[in-house]
Amino acid sequence: MQYDVKNSEEYLELLEEDWRKEKLLLIRHMIFTYAPELEEVIRYKMLNYGKDDNYVFALNAQKHYVSLYVGSIEKIGDADTLLAGYNYGKGCIRVKKSIKIEDTELEQFIHKTVDMWRAGDDTAC
């Protein structure tokens, strides 16, 4: 879904109080806990995380899943293992209602991606 908002506070206020908001907030918490230096802004009508126009993640609540966007998943080592159980494409991880994020290795994937970003490695498309 696209939200025509100016900042992350407005975005979060517009989210319906359902499983998508719960999962989005959990992923957001994982990002900020490991990388508090990231800034949260609205780009392309969704939440984006990065610094100085160098973005590492985007996050959005869709109709049937929550999307965590990464430039290119294949650039992240062990992505197939870390994302076992998820439906994902070249740069989008789809978090569906049935997924228990706590029982997956999504947090480790986020850590690995942030570590690469911090090192200046290319994670873009």
pLDDT in tens, 64-118: 999 999 999 999 999 999 999 999 999 999 999 999 999 999 999 999 999 999 9
What angle in degrees, to the nearest 10, is found between the helix axes of 106-118 and 19-34? 40
Give yes or no for a contact between 46 and 57, defined as CB atoms under 8 angstroms apart.
no
CATH of region 8-118: 3.90.1150.200
Report whether 62 contacts 87 (CB < 8 A).
Answer: no
Taking the domains of the chain in order of start, what are their residue ranges?
8-118
Please say if the pLDDT value at position 121 is more than 90. yes
pTM summary value? 0.95
What DSSP state is assigned to residue 102? Answer: G
Number of residues in the chain: 125
Model pLDDT for residues 27-48, shown as the tens digit of each residue: 999 999 999 999 999 999 999 9
